[in-house]
A and B are shown apart, each in its own frame.
Chain A
Amino acid sequence: MERTERLLDLVALLLDAKEPLTWKQIRAAFPDDYAQGSVEATERKFERDKAELLELGIPIKYTQAAEDVDDGYTLDKDAYYLPKLQLGPDEMAVLYAAGSAALASGAFPGSSDLAHALRKIGFFAGPKPPAPKVRLELGGVAETKDLPARLDALWSAISDRKFIEIDYFSPRQKEVTHRRVDPYGLALRRGLWSLVGYCHLRKGVRTFHVHRVRELTVNTKNPKTPDYQVPKDFALDDYVASFPWQHRFHPRVDVELQLKGHLAALAEKSFPGSPTSGDGKVTVAATDLEGLLRFVLSLGADARVLGPPEAVKRHREMAEAISRLHQGSS
């Protein structure tokens, strides 16, 4: 009997049972599958099937013998069936809009999990819940043909806690390095996906851009046994930069900026989360000064660096270098 068919039969059998089914009864129900060969081999086969069902969220339990029932397996029906979610129309709309937009983007890790989740929440909701039209473009790079498969592979490695091996391209060094990584998580910032994990080459937690991963293999040995633990206090946000000045390249420097003209009113929008005073002064905590200064340069002449002195100096050097670069080009 095909495995899918056997597993479905097993679910049907357990859903119908009024009392725990003993191993003997289960063997008798599947004579070709669980009653042929050695006892150990068939028990292992049943255990594998049971594990597969548990992973699908099917709550199979083993219960000890009591006064008038034998020991055996039960399927907790209350825990099995999806109850009504009682989602209001606005709640449904936001889940649906976000979920379908993420799916349609083609670059979302765990896309089949997401598709199933959407089907399930829509199960009681009738044909089409109202949702705003939202389209997302995730991935943010030109070459996206490998991205969906990469993200799905990474997501399953993260779920199963299996190490990966990657060929990673660094545009700074312009070279490809081969690394073994324990993937801790995925984060999306400004349309780009980042992978954070323990890098065995650099012996520390590192952040990788998923689109710079050239080759990717997931460890296939012992698929059900995790290869590593994620540290308890791990938080993705500690490692992923949302803004160019947040890459963790050096200890934190508090840089004081003065925004003038129409920029002054945009201070909070330009540097979200940074303390601003009403007159266009912003203090930005930078762990990538170069990144911050490039961004400040891009704001134009109405953005000035007030301190600390090394930031002012570097800003001036960069501006002078740019000016030299562009001399004669007009």
Chain B
Amino acid sequence: MPAQDVHGRLRRLLFLVPYVAQNPGLPVDEVAKALGVSRDALLEELDLLAMVGRPPFQPDDFVDIYVEDDKVFVDLDQRFSAPPRLTAAEGVALAAAAELLRPAATDALTQALEKLEKVLPDGARERYRQMAKQLDLALEAPQGLAALSQAIVEHREVELDYFTSGRNQTEKRRVQPHELFSHRGQWYLSGHCLSRGDVRLFRLDRIGALELTEQRFEAPVNPKAHAMPSERHGAEQVRVRFNAAAAPYVAERFGSEVQWLEGGTLEVKVLGDSERWLTQWVLSFGEMPGCTSPSGPGGRYRKQQTPSKPLEGLHRAPLNS
């Protein structure tokens, strides 16, 4: 093991002994998993611990940790009955991660963070406050995450107003929420939509009014996997060409999916199931893109998907203003 890893190793071992004392007889694999190391690495650590003790190293002075029937035990060791407190860096990492759900549980989160700060060692508190200013995840989570995470934990059905861009209207939906996730900077709820009778994805920024009902549901053991927003089946793909000015920005988002063309321009394929979205997306590049063109079956996108219609409307608006 490399010398610079002393820090990481020490930290792990000071946790390992109390952890085993707290949970005696856990299988080796489970302890390894809890510590985030491989089975072999754990067994190596246990070998090292067998040599650790208090000088002058009488038999009773050693940490007595051992494996029996593939389970890990430790003879109660008062010295290592609890792990050390959180370091400043650990506190900051946790607090910053918690910010990701900030609007989700304002009270719970604020209280949790207060308690967290209290258990930092005296010397670490100042450092914690300083470092907390250096990791900022503010505003990442949208409104609605709060109620939805509560609904997921409590298995409660929700009623929501959902804006469908395809139909350009808001509809009432009743949903059994399964999971929240963010993808390409966008938050989604995956859940069983009772109004549609199938597992659906909902974009959080299109959810209007939201209400938790008292109706509980049985959480599916293996919720049906939802398709990622970018890989829905059946939808036709549209090729979008970008000029050289826009190309580098598009390339970093799409990576190997882009097709480079002459003169530093490039093309990407995107889902063509929402004309509105496509138009918005292309327009968000301002003057930069080239043009959209259809691919795949059916030339009907040629007319619709090239933003002629929306653009005409758009064109009018600023000219009149």
Interface residues of A (CB under 8 A from B): 2-5, 7-9, 11-13, 15-16, 29-30, 52-59, 79-83, 85-88, 90-95, 97-99, 101-103, 108-121, 123-124, 130-138, 140-143, 155, 158-159, 169, 171, 174, 184-192, 211-212, 230, 234-237, 240, 242, 262, 269, 272, 290, 293-295, 297-306, 312, 315-316, 318-323, 325-326, 329-330
Q: How far is the CA of A86 from the CA of B119 in the complex (A)?
A: 10
B318 touches A236 (CB 8 A): no
Contact with A8, one of B13, B97, B185, B283 (Cβ below 8 angstroms): B13
A325 touches B290 (CB 8 A): yes
A322 touches B311 (CB 8 A): yes
Of the A-B pairs whose beta carbons lie under 8 Å apart in the complex, a sample of 29, sorted by A's number, is A5-B52, A7-B10, A9-B53, A16-B79, A59-B123, A82-B84, A88-B111, A94-B108, A95-B109, A98-B104, A109-B93, A112-B8, A113-B87, A132-B152, A134-B101, A135-B180, A136-B100, A140-B253, A142-B256, A143-B252, A186-B134, A188-B100, A189-B139, A190-B140, A191-B182, A235-B133, A294-B285, A301-B313, A304-B317
A114 touches B97 (CB 8 A): yes
B32 within 8 A of A: no
A159 touches B8 (CB 8 A): no
The 9 closest A-B pairs by CB, nearest first: A142-B255, A171-B248, A191-B185, A185-B134, A29-B55, A135-B181, A301-B313, A91-B112, A330-B308
Cβ–Cβ < 8 Å partners of A108 in chain B: 93, 97
Chain B facing A: main interface SS: helix
Q: How far is the CA of A115 from the CA of B12 in the complex (A)?
A: 11
Other A-B pairs, 15, CB within 8 Å; known A87-B115, A301-B316: A81-B84, A94-B149, A116-B90, A132-B152, A141-B253, A190-B140, A190-B185, A191-B185, A212-B252, A290-B286, A298-B281, A304-B317, A312-B321, A322-B283, A322-B311
Closest to B286 in A: A294
Q: How far is the CA of A101 from the CA of B98 in the complex (A)?
A: 10
Q: Per-residue 0/1 for B225-244: is the Cβ within 8 Å of any A Cβ (1 yes, 0 no)?
A: 00000000000000000000
B300 within 8 A of A: no
Q: How far is the CA of A124 from the CA of B101 in the complex (A)?
A: 23
Cβ–Cβ < 8 Å partners of A188 in chain B: 100, 136-137, 140
Decide yes or no: A137 and B63 within 8 Å by CB, A81-B81, A119-B34, A293-B286 being known contacts.
no
Closest to A134 in B: B180
Decide yes or no: A79 and B85 within 8 Å by CB, A52-B6, A91-B109, A326-B291 being known contacts.
yes
A325 touches B287 (CB 8 A): yes
Cβ–Cβ < 8 Å partners of A56 in chain B: 7, 10-11, 14, 84, 87
Q: Count contacts between A and B, CB distance < 8 Å.
A: 368
Cβ–Cβ < 8 Å partners of A80 in chain B: 84-85, 121
B149 touches A134 (CB 8 A): yes
Q: How far is the CA of A297 from the CA of B81 in the complex (A)?
A: 62
Q: Per-residue 0/1 for B292-321: is the Cβ within 8 Å of any A Cβ (1 yes, 0 no)?
A: 110000000011001110111111111111
A79 touches B108 (CB 8 A): no
CB distance from B73 to the nearest CB of A (A): 18
Cβ–Cβ < 8 Å partners of B254 in chain A: 142
Decide yes or no: A87 and B321 within 8 Å by CB, A82-B82, A299-B280 being known contacts.
no
Decide yes or no: A113 and B180 within 8 Å by CB, A87-B115, A234-B133 being known contacts.
no
Q: How far is the CA of A95 from the CA of B101 in the complex (A)?
A: 9
Contact with B15, one of A109, A120, A130, A236 (Cβ below 8 angstroms): A120
CB distance from B263 to the nearest CB of A (A): 13
Q: How far is the CA of A302 from the CA of B318 in the complex (A)?
A: 10
A262 touches B168 (CB 8 A): yes
B149 touches A192 (CB 8 A): no
B19 touches A189 (CB 8 A): no
Cβ–Cβ < 8 Å partners of B104 in chain A: 94, 98
Cβ–Cβ < 8 Å partners of B290 in chain A: 325
Of residues 87 through 104 on chain B, the ones whose CB sits less than 8 Å from some CB of chain A are 87-94, 96-101, 104
Interface centre among B91, B283, B317 (most CB of A within 10 A): B317
Q: Per-residue 0/1 for B175-205: is the Cβ within 8 Å of any A Cβ (1 yes, 0 no)?
A: 0001111111110000000000000000001
Decide yes or no: A316 and B319 within 8 Å by CB, A87-B112, A294-B286, A329-B292 being known contacts.
yes
Q: How far is the CA of A301 from the CA of B182 in the complex (A)?
A: 29
CB distance from A101 to the nearest CB of B (A): 7
Closest to B246 in A: A171
B270 within 8 A of A: no
A9 touches B54 (CB 8 A): yes
Cβ–Cβ < 8 Å partners of A306 in chain B: 321
Q: How far is the CA of A87 from the CA of B318 in the complex (A)?
A: 55
